């Protein structure tokens, strides 16, 4: 598996560096958070795949001043796809997948559930996937408030739009629409949040250009989210607000367990189940 070895190494190293910077920024935000309890810190656990090769780093913070639960995971895995995953890839039109099920993948995945109901939950991921017949990038970010503020939504989208516009003026509208479709919960008839951007199978034929855009999406995350978290984490909230947050989290859990492509892929390829399911909220309610 030596095709594109340099590119794959470069991508995996960058995803890991982004993971390091985000965890550092989140711990710094914890230091600024309200309350007298000790600020939260990430528990870092190496992960391994049950099948084939590779693994990653699972970083989870629980019970902090600002973050009730946040996971920032990095992985680099390779091997042979299970028949179910191979069939799904072939159905998506991945070149050569029907004949050769080998793969390599690396990326960062982040989900944050917040203490203060005024502060929106958030998701971000970027990744690269390689098979003997193709390579592509994917990722995106979306905001999931239970108490919506129009200004927060506008800032989040504007930051992502600027990242997109720097690479292709058509990207933002295309990937925003894709996010609206992808993060929709059919059995509830509603979106899980206020959207963002989502893209997958990105291969324009120019690896450097596609990698540069994927990096831009990752780099945009902290400027898109941190100002919102800093402003909202100090606001007051009521027990009714907390109840609304817990019920809203049910939407997130339902989506990730039933529809999320990354969750399905991680479980089907034998990755550490705790790492795959770290996106689930620590507490949720259903009515």
pLDDT at 8 exceeding the cut of 90: yes
pLDDT in tens, 171-208: 999 999 999 999 999 999 999 999 999 999 999 999 99
The mean pLDDT of 15-38, rounded to a whole number, is 96
pLDDT in tens, 221-275: 999 999 999 999 999 999 999 999 999 999 989 988 888 777 777 676 666 677 7
The mean pLDDT of 75-92, rounded to a whole number, is 81
Cβ-count burial of 190 within 10 angstroms (0-12 exposed, 13-18 middle, 19+ buried)?
exposed
pLDDT at res. 4: 85
Nearest Cα residue to 60 out of 33, 23, 31: 23
**How far is the C-alpha of 214 from the C-alpha of 219, rounded, in Å?**
9
Q: Are 113 and 173 contacting, i.e. CB atoms less than 8 angstroms apart?
A: no
- Contacts from 284-287 at CB under 8 Å and sequence distance 24+? 284/246, 284/247, 284/249, 284/250, 284/252, 284/253, 285/243, 285/246, 285/247, 285/249, 285/250, 286/247, 286/250, 287/247
pLDDT at res. 51: 65
Active site residue 123: yes
pLDDT confidence of 46, banded at 50, 70, 90?
Answer: very high
The mean pLDDT of 90-117, rounded to a whole number, is 85
Bridge partners for 124 per DSSP: 110, 141
* This model's pTM is above 0.85: yes
pLDDT in tens, 133-183: 889 999 999 999 999 999 999 999 999 999 999 999 999 999 999 999 999
Catalytic residue among 123, 155, 157, 248: 123
pLDDT in tens, 19-29: 999 999 999 99
- Residues whose CB falls within 8 Å of the CB of residue 39, separated by 6 or more in sequence, listed in order: 27, 30, 31, 33, 64, 65
Packed helices 83-91 and 261-268: angle between N→C axes, nearest 10 degrees? 140
Structural domains of the chain, ranges and CATH numbers in brackets: 5-279 (3.40.1500.10)
The mean pLDDT of 51-55, rounded to a whole number, is 78
């Amino acid at each position: 598996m030596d095709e594109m070895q340099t590119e794959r190494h470069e991508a995996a190293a960058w995803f890991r560096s982004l993971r390091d910077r985000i965890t550092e920024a989140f711990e710094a935000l914890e230091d600024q958070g309200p309350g007298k309890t000790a600020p939260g810190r990430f528990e870092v656990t190496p992960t391994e795949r049950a099948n084939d090769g590779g693994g990653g780093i699972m970083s989870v913070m629980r019970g902090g001043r600002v973050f009730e639960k946040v996971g920032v995971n990095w992985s680099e895995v390779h091997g042979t796809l299970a028949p179910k995953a191979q069939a799904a890839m072939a159905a998506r039109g991945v070149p050569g997948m029907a004949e050769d099920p080998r793969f390599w993948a690396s990326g960062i995945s982040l989900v944050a559930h917040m203490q203060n109901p005024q502060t929106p939950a958030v998701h971000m991921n970027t990744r690269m996937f390689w098979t003997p017949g193709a390579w592509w990038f994917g990722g995106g970010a979306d905001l999931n408030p239970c108490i919506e503020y129009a200004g927060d939504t506008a800032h989040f989208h504007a930051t992502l739009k600027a990242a997109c516009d720097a690479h292709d003026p058509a990207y933002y509208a295309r990937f925003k629409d894709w996010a609206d479709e992808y993060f929709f919960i059919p059995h509830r008839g509603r979106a899980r949040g206020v959207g963002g951007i989502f893209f997958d199978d990105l291969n324009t034929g120019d690896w450097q250009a596609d990698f540069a855009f994927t990096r831009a999406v990752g780099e945009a995350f902290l400027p898109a989210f941190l100002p919102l978290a800093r402003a909202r984490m100090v606001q007051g909230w009521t027990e009714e607000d907390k109840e609304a947050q817990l019920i809203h989290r049910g939407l997130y859990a339902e989506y990730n367990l039933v529809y999320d492509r990354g969750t399905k892929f991680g479980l089907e390829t034998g990755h550490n189940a705790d790492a795959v399911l770290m996106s689930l909220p620590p507490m949720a309610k259903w009515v």
